[in-house]
Structure 1
């Protein structure tokens, strides 16, 4: 039986074959046998049932109903979760999603997998068109090849169609009104790599662009917006289906002016991103939003920046300088403005639990819900038979990561 407490002692051959799973699709294991295992003794998460003690079997790169292999991974004392999915992340471990550099995407993917994230949407800042097009081309090319680490689920285009008054750390000089032709050019450059787009629905041309994007299968999210309740509701009825980092960079949730939050609540099926780092949203409001929308409509995101996972200090994000101090990332010249987070999605899950969110609800918000949002629920987001063979083992006492499995292999930590 393979004990997760002894992963570091695995033979070098096993580490070499199983410890470096690749990105899109995964690479075939040289021997094949290491991809067949039984994960036994753990409390396994299911979106419908919560946690229950059962065995998870892998058959190659898929979850299976049964396994004929005798290799076992002892998960006693652990929760067994599906790999997480981060729909909103600008960078990690020094890598910038907007760099248009495949080496940075790979570094980001490797680091995220170690944190239990199995798929992510590299998220752009507001950049010049030439730079955005380069990011789209780079991502499209990256996704055609096999790479180590978490899989790229598609680009999240955050900007340039944002409200100047709610731009946050985005460069105001580069913002513009929704432009279907610009969007078409970016999609062309990325060969359809854009899967998610944030825009401000009150801007001229927003509703036609929403309808155009939705027809192309792109998910539209409302964010960085001054929209009132009626405008946001009209955009959601036009096809937008999500809100970007709820409560941040949008109109307040007031008793006479419910704004974007009220509109999202009133339109059934609308999902809402929530940053649960304890800095962007107060713990009391995290609890309130989970209760208001229910765990089935919350999508937990990290909104992490390139300095996430690195020492505190001064860094650059696009054309802006940011300072990370005591876990807060702010614009250096406007320290009252948050620039994003420096938490991994798994750390956001842990913090949400510390705020009083049940672990099952937090896990759903960081795995199954984002999978459903991007239409990937038949492949990702749970540990049901037929899903991709990826899992995270968390210590039941500390919620610290004890092991990561990707494509049926234990990932070398």
Structure 2
């Protein structure tokens, strides 16, 4: 199959051209049309690598912590319509047994595929976080960081864990961070009240990422730079919930300018109300009320989002004065690199998986291909 007449979004430019797909792979850029070849006319729209969401709890009325194939398959099917072709189902601060059950399902779907969407692994958010930065996590299930508790949580499915969010200032965190670093698990600081000094120490232990920048972390001030200041003053990566609710667009512009677009990922942090109407839902065993695209607990705390990555790209491109290819990179190549799949996902290049999204100038998704198969 040949997709013609498209604006191809590369990592560092956009060029008009054509892309050939064979056996689930991209096999040629700008080839000649072959006799009897199936041709898809993109009608001048943008062709992007498939979006990769490294932090998403749910969608379509389902939550990762439901711990079932049906739940994760339903989430996958819903977000695929918005261009997300790979993701990390993200857990919540719940019991060790519930997290382990969910990890077993994720490990299974990594091998089998979820409705065709690529489950790249799991992101564990909690339970090793600070009670002083609880956000929408459930305080009843907080646990002090320890190697023993982690091993029990991931028993039988350790290979499924790509990343873990924890609070590095909590007692026991240093030993666990060093342990996870040696195992190749990405350690991310989040739901933390660490000082700048504590965060910089954690980076030396093995923290390489910051969870949902600005949210659930000690803020930047000129005398106490906090976790935000440490993220800005180091080479670690970070992620933003770019819905205009979690962070002001001016704050996002500052972040992208300070970190550079190679060091930031766009995430949804979506919960089960994503792709659903306003109403009452749940997250981590707590009631969530969604009104005007904002998801909040009864106490008013933000509880994830209802964002999709196509909308995040639109928001950033519209409000942050960045070239479209740089915005798309933050939702494709950067997260592919985070998940160590950048050698076959996250770019439009020969030999890469044919995970592709076709969208118009308003980032409205027209077609999605996952390993060369078009979604219905």
TM-score (structure 2 length as normaliser):
0.96
1:278 alignment counterpart: 244
Structure 2 residue 281 is matched with structure 1 residue 315: yes
Question: Is the 1:111–1:149 Cα contact (8 Å) retained in structure 2?
Answer: no
User: Hey, what's the Cα distance between the residues in 1 that align with 2:357 and 2:111?
Assistant: 26
* Aligned equivalent of 1:121, options 88, 108, 125: 88
2:334 alignment counterpart: 369
User: Hey, what's the Cα distance between the residues in 1 that align with 2:141 and 2:113?
Assistant: 34
- The within-5 A match list for 1:59-98 is 59-65=22-28, 66=31, 68=34, 70-98=37-65
2:126 alignment counterpart: 159
User: Hey, what's the Cα distance between the residues in 2 that align with 1:289 and 1:406?
Assistant: 31
Shift of 1:81: 0.4
User: Hey, what's the Cα distance between the residues in 1 that align with 2:247 and 2:255?
Assistant: 10
1:409 alignment counterpart: 373
Q: Deviations over 1:373-394 (max 9, x none)?
A: 1111011101111110111111
2:297 alignment counterpart: 331
User: Hey, what's the Cα distance between the residues in 1 that align with 2:285 and 2:22?
Assistant: 47
Question: Is the 2:357–2:367 Cα contact (8 Å) retained in structure 1?
Answer: yes
2:352 alignment counterpart: 387
Question: Is the 1:90–1:124 Cα contact (8 Å) retained in structure 2?
Answer: yes
* SS state at 1:303 partner: coil
Structure 2 residue 144 is matched with structure 1 residue 177: yes
* Cα RMSD for the two superposed structures: 1.3
User: Hey, what's the Cα distance between the residues in 2 that align with 1:159 and 1:361?
Assistant: 31
TM-score (structure 1 length as normaliser):
0.87
User: Hey, what's the Cα distance between the residues in 1 that align with 2:107 and 2:131?
Assistant: 29
User: Hey, what's the Cα distance between the residues in 2 that align with 1:394 and 1:159?
Assistant: 35
1:295 alignment counterpart: 261
1:234 alignment counterpart: 201
User: Hey, what's the Cα distance between the residues in 2 that align with 1:224 and 1:358?
Assistant: 31
* Aligned equivalent of 1:378, options 318, 343, 359: 343
Taking a change above 3 Å as real, the CA distance of residues 197 and 353 of structure 1, as seen in their structure-2 partners, is same
Shift of 1:76: 2.4
Q: Deviations over 1:325-348 (max 9, x none)?
A: 01110002x02x100101111111
Shift of 1:146: 4.2
* Aligned equivalent of 1:344, options 301, 308, 313: 308
User: Hey, what's the Cα distance between the residues in 2 that align with 1:378 and 1:134?
Assistant: 30
- The within-5 A match list for 1:189-200 is 189-200=156-167
Q: Deviations over 1:6-61 (max 9, x none)?
A: xxxxxxxxxxxxxxxxxxxxxxxxxxxxxxx11111111111x3211121111211
Taking a change above 3 Å as real, the CA distance of residues 41 and 411 of structure 1, as seen in their structure-2 partners, is same
1:56 alignment counterpart: 19
1:211 alignment counterpart: 178
Shift of 1:354: 1.8
Question: Is the 1:201–1:225 Cα contact (8 Å) retained in structure 2?
Answer: yes
Q: How many residues align?
A: 371
User: Hey, what's the Cα distance between the residues in 1 that align with 2:325 and 2:23?
Assistant: 27
Question: Is the 2:310–2:363 Cα contact (8 Å) retained in structure 1?
Answer: no
* SS state at 2:65 partner: coil
Question: Is the 2:311–2:363 Cα contact (8 Å) retained in structure 1?
Answer: no
* SS state at 1:132 partner: helix
Shift of 1:241: 0.8
Mind listing any 5+ residue stretches in structure 2 that lack a counterpart? none
User: Hey, what's the Cα distance between the residues in 2 that align with 1:134 and 1:380?
Assistant: 28
* SS state at 1:287 partner: helix
Shift of 1:286: 1.0
Question: Is the 2:97–2:153 Cα contact (8 Å) retained in structure 1?
Answer: no
Shift of 1:361: 1.8
User: Hey, what's the Cα distance between the residues in 1 that align with 2:78 and 2:314?
Assistant: 18
